[in-house]
Structure 1
Amino acid sequence: MKKIKAILFLTLLAVSTAFTVNKASPGYEVGDVATDFSLKNIDGKMVSLSDYDDANGFVVIFTCNHCPFSIAYEDRIIAIDKKYKNLGYPVIAINPNNPEVSKGDDFVSMQKRAKDKGFTFPYLFDDGQKIYPQYGAKYTPHVFVLNKVDGDLVVAYIGAIDSNSSDESKAENKFLEDALDALVVGDNPEITYTKAIGCTIKK
């Protein structure tokens, strides 16, 4: 009997510990409601999600200037913004890196990068690194798709843009586009979470 009680106690402890670790994990999960933010854009103006009255949701992408993964995806991010902002899901790019640690990720360099590449979307600076931890972003790029439901912005997809960072033509899965295509017609994405591949965010 004592042995059975000991096993039961250890089992309950393991379950409780796993639950606690899960609940303590930082950042959003699919189904969570995202809060708004106010961050400086490359034009010097502050941008919030609430500024977009007509948006049905957002493609929030944490990215930066120097990471080769982010650079490889820039053209794809521009194409996604051009396609989906007209369908109600604009791209909002955020640079989460500490410029004192990550050289080339300062605000002036952000302005230059956006101009050189012809960014069609806001490119915001997470000054003080307060927003990316709320989302739970770990890499650049790291995608969070938000869908407006009864006035709330609900996280609908988290992860990678597609399955091939180096060559778009060889990407067998276009996770972000598939998620957006579903949302545009009022469906839920079939795949809601994938592992983001990129450079770690510099603190």
Structure 2
Amino acid sequence: MKKIKLPLIYMVCLLLAGFLMAATPAGNTGYQVGDTARDFELKNVDGKMVSLSDYENAQGFIVTFTCNSCPYSVAYEDRLIALHNKYAPKGYPVIAINPNDAAVSPEDSYANMQQRAKEKGFPFPYLHDETQEITKAYGATRTPHLYILKKGENGMYKVAYIGTIDDNSRDPKQVQKRYAEAALNDMIAGDQVKQPNTKAIGCTIKWKEA
């Protein structure tokens, strides 16, 4: 059989496409605004399993994919605590989820999560998505990556906002736009979220190696 010679540029494109497919989980499209978010059961730093259904009085959730190792995540820790303290009493608690594979990022091991939660005094659960199944379901790609959920009339939670917390990851004193707070305030007022999508800024998630 006669061998077909492919142009060099075409071969390079094929190799690059293969690399990108290996680096990104297949079918990782995730939730869009308006989608119904599935419940989950993930292990908290206190050893207990946590689900959305555990919160009987919740009107929604501030779900954030975050970690120990990313400087962007660390920079937002105090702002996450402030968001929880302000909005949990209004029915919107924070739930933090570490999506990183500890084999790739040892700093994000479960033991280090426990230590970090204790050091910072997190008032919210800090969960370990060991299989990365929930991270893929949401479609999170960075840490931090924020998803705000709102309870619908059927008791299911729908995604109302996806993106970042505010417009300045480096300096909280220089923040001009507080995207998460604006979305939550719209929801609490019974209004449509005016800006339901922003770009998540942070470190790429450390996926399990194939």
Q: One fold, TM greater than 0.5? A: yes
In structure 2, list runs of 5 or more residues that go unmatched.
1-26
2:117 is matched with 114
- Counterpart Cα distance in 1 of 2:162 and 2:149: 9
1:184 is matched with 188
Alignment of 1:1-203 (within 5 A): 26-150=29-153, 151-203=155-207
- Counterpart Cα distance in 1 of 2:156 and 2:51: 14
SS at match of 1:60: strand
Partner deviation per Cα, 1:1-48 (whole Å, 9 max, x = no partner): xxxxxxxxxxxxxxxxxxxxxxx6610000000000000000000000
Residue identity matched to 1:85? A
Return the offset for 1:169.
1.3
Return the offset for 1:197.
0.1
- Counterpart Cα distance in 2 of 1:25 and 1:86: 33
- Counterpart Cα distance in 2 of 1:64 and 1:101: 13
Return the offset for 1:128.
1.0
Return the offset for 1:133.
0.5
- Counterpart Cα distance in 1 of 2:182 and 2:121: 25
Residue identity matched to 1:148? K
Return the offset for 1:185.
1.5
- Counterpart Cα distance in 2 of 1:83 and 1:188: 20
CA separation of 1:40/1:25 partners in 2, compared to 1, >3 Å: closer, same or farther? closer
Return the offset for 1:186.
1.2
Return the offset for 1:189.
1.2
1:14 is matched with none
| Percent identical residues | 57
Deviant stretches of 4+, over 6 Å: none
Residue identity matched to 1:192? P
SS at match of 1:40: strand
In structure 1, list runs of 5 or more residues that go unmatched.
1-23
1:8 is matched with none
Residues 28 and 137 in structure 2, CA contact (< 8 A), matched pair in contact too: no
- Counterpart Cα distance in 1 of 2:28 and 2:108: 27
Paired positions, count: 180
SS at match of 1:74: helix
TM-score, normalising length from structure 2? 0.84
2:9 is matched with none
Residues 28 and 136 in structure 2, CA contact (< 8 A), matched pair in contact too: no
